[in-house]
Structure 1
Amino acid sequence: MPTATDLLQEITEPAAEQQGVRLLLWRDDLAHPELPGNKARKLKFNLAAARRQGHHKLLTFGGAYSNHVAAVATAGRLFGFNTIGLIRGEPTAVPNPTLAQAAADGMALHYLDRTAYRRRAEPDFIAEQLARFGAAYVLPEGGTNALALPGCAELVTELQAQTAFDAVAVAVGTGGTLAGLLTGLAGEQQAVGVAALKNGSFLRAEIDTLTQQAQDRIFTNYSVQTDYHFGGYAKYSAPLLAFIQQFGVRHGVLLDPIYTGKLLFGVLDLIKQGYFRRGSTVVAIHTGGLQAWAGWHERFGRAG
């Protein structure tokens, strides 16, 4: 297992040097050999609650390439929970790499058409699933709920033990990781979220709701950047893929095309624009998600 010191990497980029900004990368993708990144942090206190409530089964929702579904399946294997994944879409003759690995980790996969899947957060629908599958601890899509936040806040504590910094930056899907980071920041520290999906302005309300639930507080020391989605969730372009490839060559770091590639592209563009004050230290968070590459190559080929 790497130490916290191993997880912090200096990123030397011309744009940062020109603007007088120190850029660091927190490698949460290396935090655990089998269960790294923000999805593991979101699960930590949820798994403790499941045990405390006497549950032996986890039930969750996700798309066919979901990092969250993959993480829940792995957590079930590692920590002794049975797992059920309710997957959006139709089953295929050969499951994609994400779902194949989830099944190998012991997850029972069941499929919901899009109409049914849209009801995934409705109490009546959840009750129907529990009647069907038996008592289980229910995890929402993406793993984002109030109990996800303290696990993400621990990342800030670990980071603060290593270095002083002025801002953290993270990719945003459901908003849970950014909300958790906000609850751990101190003083004048800021957070920047880079939305991975199109029309992400609604995310601020989602984040505010989460921090209100978790700490009865709404934070103002953050922004959600909505210009770096490259067409929408899981959408991509040649410039994004070129950036990921070049970043890997320069820094020896593999980014993913859904979250962290967009994050670093966005952070470097914000630095070029002078968004961060000269002399500041900015820490981008690599939240993992690299399992998605296998499915990405299957869908789009090696060029994608």
Structure 2
Amino acid sequence: MSGNLELEITPPRIDQIRLPILDQRSLTLNVLRLDQIHPLVTGNKWFKLKRNIAHIQQKGFTRVLSFGGAYSNHIRTLAGVGKILNIETIGIIRGELAEPLNPVLEFAQEQGMLLHSIDRASYRQKYKDKLLDKLRSRFGDFYLLPEGGSNELAVKGCEALAHFVPKVSGQPGSCVALPCGTGATMGGLVRGLAYRREVTVLGFSVLKAPGYLAAEVARWIHAVSCKQPPAWRVIDDYHCGGYAKSNAELAAFMDFWEANSNIPLEPVYTGKMFYGLFKLIESGYYPEGTEILAIHTGGLH
């Protein structure tokens, strides 16, 4: 295996959103553009992968296998990293591989990832020895990276996101918002923001699974001795039907956003976060003077 772990990552810029509703409520809304850090490896996924890739290289693995759905940003980014660093990648995809492939899976395949589908019943057993032994018999030995790349190494990598959150003095402080699919990124961010009492972290679940991601975030926070984490909350109200699902309200918001902003969104993650964020703004959730930082986690294809 060859390749250099250190990709040329561009420090993410912060863009301000200017809309009448924000002025009316004396709110500031900025966007942390993780979608702009690298042409192939974008968003929060690099922060989740970096420490895993270092571990893989240190252990001498030449092949990485991971799991994901048909629209998994993790699968897409893993394929891009594998291409750049010359690591063989295998993506085990939930459900059928419908032709033509969607843009996520098409990109992964173009980067050299071997795609293999399994049915949903088998997918639910993805960490059982029976399935893993079957996969090793088929593909040879591999380093197993969990679905979404979510493990302690990933969470530790996401702690670095706290460095991009500006310090705010005075009241009411600031709020950091991000979409949540596994809770690992949010868990790492909360850990990285320890002792930052002026910050509140809001995660917008993209899953139709009330309470699940809040429990996952809590699990990652409590996995280490995280003293004085900031206030945090996972909001389950804006999944719009579940993962990769949509509805008329989300579609209307996406049209509104496209007409009023030059920052591109997608409907699986970032679209739902901004949809929920603006619903909260309209409801008066945020006190006047709050500075909101929305993390754009990528996922644009």
**Shared topology, TM-score over 0.5?**
yes
Deviates more, 1:11-20 or 1:54-63: 11-20
**How far does the alpha carbon of each residue in 1:58-116 deviate from its partner, in whole angstroms, 9 at most, with x for none?**
10011122211111111100111000111112234533332222111111111111111
Residue equivalent to 1:282: 292
One-letter identity of the residue aligned with 1:282? I
**How far does the alpha carbon of each residue in 1:262-301 deviate from its partner, in whole angstroms, 9 at most, with x for none?**
111111221222322222211001101112xxxxxxxxxx
CA–CA separation in structure 2 for the residues paired with 1:98 and 1:73: 10
CA–CA separation in structure 1 for the residues paired with 2:247 and 2:104: 22
Residue equivalent to 2:252: 242
Residue equivalent to 2:5: none
CA–CA separation in structure 2 for the residues paired with 1:218 and 1:57: 39
Report whether the alignment pairs 1:204 with 2:214. Answer: yes
Identity of aligned residues (%): 38
CA–CA separation in structure 2 for the residues paired with 1:239 and 1:216: 38
Residue equivalent to 1:296: none
Residue equivalent to 2:181: 173
Deviates more, 1:267-276 or 1:200-209: 267-276
CA–CA separation in structure 1 for the residues paired with 2:146 and 2:23: 41
SS at 1:231's partner residue? coil
Deviates more, 1:44-53 or 1:269-278: 269-278
Residue equivalent to 1:134: 140
CA–CA separation in structure 2 for the residues paired with 1:236 and 1:94: 21
Report whether the alignment pairs 1:187 with 2:196. Answer: yes
Q: What is the aligned counterpart of 1:261 among 271, 274, 285?
A: 271
Deviates more, 1:20-29 or 1:151-160: 151-160
Q: Contact conserved, 1:16 with 1:272, CA < 8 A, in 2?
A: no
Report whether the alignment pairs 1:29 with 2:35. Answer: yes
CA–CA separation in structure 2 for the residues paired with 1:214 and 1:71: 27
Residue equivalent to 2:128: 122
Unaligned 5+ segments in structure 1 are 292-304
Alignment of 1:1-304 (within 5 A): 4=11, 7-160=13-166, 166-185=174-193, 186-188=195-197, 189-215=199-225, 219=229, 221-291=231-301
One-letter identity of the residue aligned with 1:169? A
SS at 1:197's partner residue? coil
SS at 2:223's partner residue? helix
CA–CA separation in structure 2 for the residues paired with 1:282 and 1:223: 15
Cα drift, residue 218 of structure 1: 9.0
Cα drift, residue 132 of structure 1: 3.3
One-letter identity of the residue aligned with 1:184? G
SS at 1:169's partner residue? strand
Deviates more, 1:229-238 or 1:125-134: 125-134
Cα drift, residue 19 of structure 1: 2.1
Residue equivalent to 1:299: none
Normalised to the residue count of structure 1, the TM-score between the two structures is: 0.87
**How far does the alpha carbon of each residue in 1:193-247 deviate from its partner, in whole angstroms, 9 at most, with x for none?**
0111213322111111122235566956101111111121111122312212221
Seen in structure 2, the aligned counterparts of structure 1 residues 214 and 69 have a Cα distance that, compared at 3 Å, is farther
One-letter identity of the residue aligned with 1:36? T
SS at 1:204's partner residue? helix
CA–CA separation in structure 2 for the residues paired with 1:142 and 1:218: 27
**Cα RMSD after superposing both structures:** 2.2
Cα drift, residue 129 of structure 1: 2.4
One-letter identity of the residue aligned with 1:22? T
CA–CA separation in structure 2 for the residues paired with 1:130 and 1:237: 40
Deviates more, 1:55-64 or 1:215-224: 215-224
Hey, which bits of structure 1, 4+ residues long, moved more than 6 A?
A: none
